[in-house]
């Protein structure tokens, strides 16, 4: 897809004139059929256009400006991560990013976002069907323009292969993927699927090139640390214990669910979190209130009397959270309601519970910095 710049004229028909030989009569114009021919024709006729590839290059240039290419000792630091190509014939690729020395939180989602720009047209029918399953009738309003925008901007999704914990040295390993890779029709990534299976996750599917990185949660603040190709070997310590770590994590969630149900009939989805301690900033808005601890932000959303877990759908992104009850959006910050959350969160570790008409959303901070508000300053 292309964007035609303002002030450019776009002819209604693309044709390429054939130049007649001296000994041959002139022929009619030949219509252009491929996108490449059309793009070349437009550029040759002075039409300024911006293709998906152009947008990708601009985003990479912007990312390079954010993450400098020159390493300065004591000012910046190098962090290794790995690309897992979807093509099994390609080897793992060792990559490196240069970050500010004091960069806190997981920086890879922003670093990798330009990698996920373009890559194929989104299947609108499949996307709308998925949205309807998740959002009910509201999902039917999903537009092609919104899908195109998601593809044009690039979006990174994270998948926790193992979360930081006291038993693994507070180091977590994460997969980073194109959020709409399946909808773009990207090729399945069998090696990433196998890696997830080795970590105890059966039945997951990934599409397109994937990336693997590591974060160190303690000592605070959380930060990116090296993950090398050698860390993907079967004998790696993190991989050897990952399945057991995830089993303990799931078991603790089940025990928490049972305990909460016994105490008051609460239906829980994943981990809940603490509330504010009365001294840290907190507040309220239309249909919700929020508070925080050192490592979590809790948002209590009015869901309406009689609402049950099956009626609730929640979506988490690094700077965007949305809660839908019976197809109606009850709470949203970010996305179509900018400017987004005050600080970024870790989507894979965000959860929600429901009790007595209230949806309690727990947002996992990427570091222990104080939130002065729930919403970022525009």
Strand residue runs (E) in 190-264: 210-216, 223-225
**C-alpha–C-alpha distance, residues 27 and 17, integer Å:** 8
pLDDT score of 117: 85
Residue whose token pair is 């709470």? 331
pLDDT of residue 359: 93
Are 274 and 255 contacting, i.e. CB atoms less than 8 angstroms apart? no
Under a CB-based contact definition with an 8 Å cutoff, are residues 229 and 94 in contact?
yes
Structure confidence at residue 97 (pLDDT) = 94
Average pLDDT of the chain?
A: 77
Sort residue 67 into left (φ over 0), alpha (ψ -120 to 50) or beta.
Answer: beta
Alpha-carbon gap, residue 372 to 361, rounded angstroms: 18
- pLDDT digits 0-9 by tens, 53-65: 676 666 666 655 5
Distance CA 259, CA 46 (A): 68
pLDDT given at position 25: 46
H or E, element range at 374: none
Q: Where are the beta strands (DSSP E) in 104-233?
A: 156-162, 171-178, 210-216, 223-225
Which residue ranges in the chain fall short of pLDDT 70? 1-33, 35, 48-53, 55-74, 119-152, 253-279, 337, 377-378
Q: How far apart are CA 331 and CA 321, in angstroms?
A: 8
Q: Label residue 67 exposed, middle or buried (CB < 10 Å: 0-12, 13-18, 19+).
A: middle
Strands 283-285 and 358-364, sheet pairing: unpaired
C-alpha torsion sign, points 30, 36, 41, 44: negative
pLDDT of 267: 40
Confirm if 326 and 305 have CB atoms less than 8 A apart. Answer: no
Question: CB 95: neighbour CB atoms within 10 A?
Answer: 17
- 245-297 pLDDT per residue, tens: 888 877 776 665 565 555 444 443 333 333 333 467 888 888 999 999 878 89
Residues constituting the chain = 378
């Amino acid at each position: 897809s292309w964007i035609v710049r303002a002030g450019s004229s776009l002819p209604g028909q693309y044709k390429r004139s054939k130049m007649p030989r001296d000994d041959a009569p002139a022929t009619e114009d030949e219509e252009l059929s491929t996108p490449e021919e059309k793009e070349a024709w437009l550029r040759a006729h002075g039409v300024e256009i911006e293709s998906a590839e152009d947008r990708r290059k601009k985003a990479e240039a912007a990312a390079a400006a954010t993450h400098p290419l020159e390493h300065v000792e004591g000012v910046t630091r190098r962090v290794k991560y790995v690309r897992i190509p979807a093509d099994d014939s390609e080897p793992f690729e060792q990559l490196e990013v240069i970050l500010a020395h004091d960069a806190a939180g997981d920086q890879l989602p922003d670093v990798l976002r330009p990698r996920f720009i373009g890559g194929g047209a989104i299947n609108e029918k499949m996307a709308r069907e998925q949205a309807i399953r998740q959002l009910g009738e509201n999902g039917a309003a999903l537009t092609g323009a919104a899908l195109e925008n998601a593809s044009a901007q690039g979006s990174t999704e994270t998948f926790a292969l193992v979360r930081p914990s006291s038993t693994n040295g507070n180091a977590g390993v994460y997969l980073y993927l194109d959020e709409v890779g399946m909808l773009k029709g990207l090729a399945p990534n069998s090696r990433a699927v196998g890696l997830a299976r080795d970590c105890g996750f059966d039945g997951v599917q990934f599409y397109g090139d994937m990336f693997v990185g590591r974060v160190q949660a303690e000592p605070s603040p959380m930060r990116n640390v090296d993950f090398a190709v050698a860390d993907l070997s079967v004998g790696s310590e993190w991989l050897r214990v990952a399945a057991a770590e995830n089993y303990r994590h799931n078991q603790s969630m089940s025990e928490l669910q049972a305990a909460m149900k016994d105490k008051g009939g609460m239906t829980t989805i994943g981990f809940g979190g603490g509330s504010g301690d009365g001294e840290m900033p907190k507040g309220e808005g239309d249909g919700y209130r929020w508070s925080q601890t050192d490592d979590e932000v809790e948002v209590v959303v009015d869901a309406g009397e009689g609402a049950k877990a099956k009626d609730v759908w929640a979506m988490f992104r690094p700077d965007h959270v949305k809660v839908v009850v019976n197809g109606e959006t009850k709470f949203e910050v970010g996305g179509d309601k900018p400017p987004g959350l005050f600080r970024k969160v870790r989507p894979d570790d965000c959860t929600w519970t429901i009790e007595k008409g209230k949806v309690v959303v727990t947002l996992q901070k990427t570091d222990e910095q104080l939130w002065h508000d729930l919403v970022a300053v525009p």
